[in-house]
A = this chain, B = another copy of it.
């Protein structure tokens, strides 16, 4: 019997791991308590962090103390603080203690849930919790995994939207070339729809006109489809938005469903941000007609206190999704799969491997309960309404769009340059983060209230800062 090969380094003993882990937890707890003390946007210049790193990996291992020190010295200056309660930019990526604790358990278990059999708990908890959410949000019962549909956790809404565009293309593959297929969405649709079509090889994306509230005009959709049919093109899908990225506009889902059914289009709904609001009954009028759509995506990692990444895709009928994406090589064959009694989520998306992400979603829902999540949404929307009221009452500003959820869009009456300068002054202050944007030639400022720890104190401070900086901008 030959001798043992060289042993791998036993770098960290269990006792050291425990001690370092406790230190890491203390660091995270402290960070979240003090996140409001950092400039919200990182202040570094391009290349500044890179210059702090050596050009080569070390030959020998370094002690954890060195890594930990660099977390403060190298990493933190280059962090943009999405977890600051002064985060009002983009959409939030909010989180919570139970979500972070679940991430630790998931990292420790280190399971790869590609198949039911490679960790049944990862699959079954995912299906069950996504079924819970169907009830929590009054979504169609048919979307449950116990019925014809089902939900799956993916990394991002871009992935989910891309996946269903591939399904729509696949369903129509005998009717024409992908280059001749057309997908419809409003001028306000998220970039992931154009990107999803580019990636899927779908030739045309029609950006449909919107009404005065930035919502898709069904008449314009119908006209566009008719024109494309006349031109010999092949309409395959339409994407409605519940809460566009620009202004959280809401497309008329029921009317778009009528048109989708008439022309045989796959109807996908992108509720990436605003979907979370459907835990509250008072927002559900925005999804009237949802029982007739084919797929729907929303991100618990945006506004439901679940760490990024956690996107959900629901389909009303799982068959075409699985039919498009299922490939079964011999090394993945197993009895459970062959019995048909289980879900193998690898057939529900592009990647094969998958983390145990359902754990954090399950823990967040259980920790806060439905009532706790409702309270969070109502708090943020209420704070956004207070801010909107102040903006509306102030003759230096105009609201730019309705604010059905937690996003408030406004302009400085001094014009585009003044609005841009105000956004820049706000961000350069380091005290808050907002997002400047532009629609139809008008520059406006997006302020979204959605970070877990944001309270009236932070929104008041934001308003005071706007109030202070507004007179300083060139106009």
B195 touches A32 (CB 8 A): no
A 95-111 to B, binary, CB cutoff 8 A, 1 in contact else 0: 11111110111011111
Interface: A236 (CB within 8 A): no
Say which residue of B47, B58, B77, B307 sits within 8 Å of A366 (CB atoms).
B58
On chain B, the residues within 8 Å of A378 by CB distance are 5-6
B370 touches A57 (CB 8 A): yes
List 11 extra interface pairs beyond A2-B386, A14-B29, A47-B124, CB under 8 A.
Answer: A7-B375, A21-B22, A21-B29, A42-B121, A49-B124, A57-B366, A90-B112, A95-B107, A100-B104, A157-B352, A191-B352
Interface: A24 (CB within 8 A): yes
A155 touches B107 (CB 8 A): no
A11 touches B103 (CB 8 A): no
B368 touches A11 (CB 8 A): yes
Interface: A169 (CB within 8 A): yes
On chain B, the residues within 8 Å of A133 by CB distance are 57
B383 touches A5 (CB 8 A): yes
On chain B, the residues within 8 Å of A100 by CB distance are 21, 104, 107-108
B26 touches A18 (CB 8 A): yes
On chain B, the residues within 8 Å of A199 by CB distance are 166, 200, 325, 350
A368 touches B61 (CB 8 A): yes
How far apart are A95's CB and chain B's nearest CB, in angstroms? 5
Interface: A446 (CB within 8 A): yes
Which one of A329-337, A396-404, A464-472 is at the interface?
A329-337
Instruction: Given A29-B14, A324-B198, A331-B435, answer yes or no on A369-B58 (Cβ-Cβ < 8 Å).
Output: yes
A61 touches B97 (CB 8 A): no
Q: Which B residue sits closest to A376, measured CB to CB?
A: B8
On chain B, the residues within 8 Å of A121 by CB distance are 42, 44, 49, 74-79
Say which residue of B25, B59, B110, B325 sits within 8 Å of A104 (CB atoms).
B25
Could you jot down 16 A-B contacts, CB within 8 Å? A2-B386, A5-B385, A6-B379, A9-B375, A14-B32, A27-B108, A46-B342, A62-B366, A78-B119, A78-B124, A93-B110, A93-B111, A103-B107, A155-B155, A162-B350, A178-B179
On chain B, the residues within 8 Å of A227 by CB distance are none
On chain B, the residues within 8 Å of A274 by CB distance are none
State which residues 149-188 of A face B: CB under 8 Å. Answer: 155-159, 162, 166, 169-170, 173, 177-179
Instruction: Given A50-B124, A195-B327, A369-B58, answer yes or no on A20-B97 (Cβ-Cβ < 8 Å).
Output: yes
State which residues 421-460 of A face B: CB under 8 Å. Answer: 435, 437-439, 446, 452, 455-456
Q: How far is the CA of A53 from the CA of B365 in the complex (A)?
A: 13
B82 touches A111 (CB 8 A): yes
How far apart are A93's CB and chain B's nearest CB, in angstroms? 5
Stoichiometry, as copies per complex, reads 2
Which one of A64-72, A249-257, A285-293 is at the interface?
A64-72
B21 touches A59 (CB 8 A): no
B79 touches A111 (CB 8 A): yes
Interface: A117 (CB within 8 A): yes
Say which residue of B53, B383, B389 sits within 8 Å of A128 (CB atoms).
B53
How far apart are A6's CB and chain B's nearest CB, in angstroms? 5
7 tightest CB-CB pairs across the interface, nearest first?
Answer: A5-B382, A78-B121, A28-B108, A21-B25, A8-B376, A156-B351, A103-B107
A4 touches B456 (CB 8 A): yes
Q: Which B residue sits closest to A377, measured CB to CB?
A: B8
A8 touches B452 (CB 8 A): yes
Say which residue of B67, B308, B355 sits within 8 Å of A363 (CB atoms).
B67
B61 touches A369 (CB 8 A): yes
How far apart are A243's CB and chain B's nearest CB, in angstroms? 13
Q: How far is the CA of A461 from the CA of B220 in the complex (A)?
A: 70
B46 touches A339 (CB 8 A): yes
On chain B, the residues within 8 Å of A330 by CB distance are 246, 437-439
Q: How far is the CA of A93 from the CA of B50 in the complex (A)?
A: 29
Q: How far is the CA of A21 from the CA of B97 in the complex (A)?
A: 9
Say which residue of B117, B368, B375, B452 sits within 8 Å of A42 (CB atoms).
B117
Interface: A367 (CB within 8 A): yes
How far apart are A44's CB and chain B's nearest CB, in angstroms? 5
Q: Which B residue sits closest to A454, measured CB to CB?
A: B8
Q: How far is the CA of A380 from the CA of B6 in the complex (A)?
A: 9
Say which residue of B46, B112, B127, B456 sits within 8 Å of A93 (CB atoms).
B112
A 22-60 to B, binary, CB cutoff 8 A, 1 in contact else 0: 101111110111000000011010111110010111111
On chain B, the residues within 8 Å of A44 by CB distance are 120-121
